[in-house]
Amino acid sequence: MSKFTVVVCDHIHQSGLDILSQDSKIELINASDEPKDKLVKEVIPQADVAITRSSTDIDENFLSHAGRLKAVVRAGVGVDNVDIDGCSKRGIVVMNVPTANTIAAVELTMAHMLSTVRQFPYAHNNLKEDRVWRRQDWYGTELKGKRLGIIGFGNIGSRVGVRAKAFEMDVLAYDPYIDPKKATDLDIKYTKNFDDILDCDIITIHTPKTKETIGMVGEDEIAKMRDGVILINCARGGLYDEDALYDGLKSGKIAMAGIDVFKREPAVDNRLLDLDNITVTPHLGANTRESQRNIAVQSAESAILSAKGISYPNALNLPIRESDIPDEIKPYFELTQKMGNISAQATREKVEKIKVITEGEISKYIDSITTFAVVGTLKESLEDSVTYVNAEFIADDMGITIEREESLNRSGFANRVTIILTTTNRSFQISGTVFGEDAQRIIEIDGYKLDLEPKGKMILFRNTDVPGVIGDVGRIIAGYSVNISDFRLGRDSNSQALAVVKVDEDVKRSLLDELSSLDTCISVTYVVI
């Protein structure tokens, strides 16, 4: 069995390496300690997927040696070191893991906010290093009652807002790319006027680093701020113009600043460090044990999914403008592609029609969702030859009909997507939804209601609903030393049932044949996601 090669270019937590090494279809090359020149020239030519952090530049030199590369996973949020346009021209999908270090960045932001208002680092040094006990020198201020302006109200900014509310702050959010209800539903005020943010007591920024956001707070913006304002940046270096920030701190216009990120790093010679009214940390936003593990695990899982062509979580260069898609809609793309792939594996026949039905707010994005459904379906047979750009053209050439339907929402779910796959001899129907922010679930297969995470090795066993079936299934599976990790059962009104049995080990054909030989068996298939 051929394997997919995943190259880890920079150090990640051991938990991620374990996930990669334990997958039977993945050949792991851990090149994190290799010299960069050797990595690029000798190791990367073997890679189907590369996992990188900030130490390895995915530039023209790197890409020129990456003849097999199909995807890059940036183990973190920022992709400053990745030539996304260069990757796109070569058909390489670029992904990041934007939520893995969310809590770490949120809590560091709150730490800087508290440090600036109470001047903890300076009071600490005065006592511990200078051995001076002068309480009167360290009068601070309280967060309670202060107005906090949050620039960028995504995963991190919104959570900062929630924590600031717990401190009884008056919180104001600015983000032109979100639905205002995302803020107002949290009892947080929303504004479209950036000047409202500049009138706050404390301002914190949580935007990505783009042409639009680099230096978005500069000399003019600082001039409009209240005297004695406090600025926080634990997002990306350069969002605050550092020259203007220095001048504002030097003059006292800005009372204090809490900075974790700098325009150029390492920032050991940055003149901001010379000032007495700034608290600084060396880019520690993701530096918690929990976040490092989360980053490694999510990066490894994304690498595996992309290597197998199943899905591309958090892809940054698919033919869909990410800024046009609300955060709560994006998980439906990945879910739909997985559902398409499950449908193709469950039927394993010539596809004649793919129908996508959407209910709820996601219906606005039915065209994009359908593209992901088609890719997921065709990947099973066409592998790398199908992309998000050519999927529907290939389907047309194969004589596959693509249908879309926006349905009235009668399911009881806020959003629901259904794929009906018609093959030469049968049809297969699967429905799914997303709970919370990104909890993907299969909720129905061929009319059987379930609650199933679309992940792992799954046996789909349809049977007559009589006593003893579950015991027979468990006995046969155990006979092959295969461990059952989850068992989900759906029943209908016709005395039939569908069991989805998740297992830890690969399933042999002989096991499926033995299950099929049971008198109660109607059908059995094996699906791997």
Q: Which residues are catalytic?
A: 236, 265, 283
* Both tokens assigned to 256: 């204090």
Question: Contacts by 94-98 with C-beta closer than 8 Å and gap 24+?
Answer: 94/58, 94/315, 94/316, 94/317, 95/71, 95/302, 95/306, 95/312, 95/313, 95/314, 95/315, 95/316, 96/314, 96/316, 97/73, 97/294, 97/295, 97/298, 97/299, 97/302, 97/314, 98/155, 98/314
d(CA 291, CA 275): 31
Yes or no: say if 274 and 290 are a contact pair by the CB < 8 Å rule: no
Give the Cα-Cα-Cα angle 264, 270, 272 (nearest 5 degrees). 120
**E strand residue ranges, 186-342:** 189-191, 202-205, 229-233, 254-259, 278-280
Whether the Cβ atoms of residue 461 and residue 470 lie closer than 8 Å to each other: no
By CB atoms closer than 10 A (0-12, 13-18, 19+), residue 30 is middle
Distance of CA 324 to the CA centre of its chain: 17
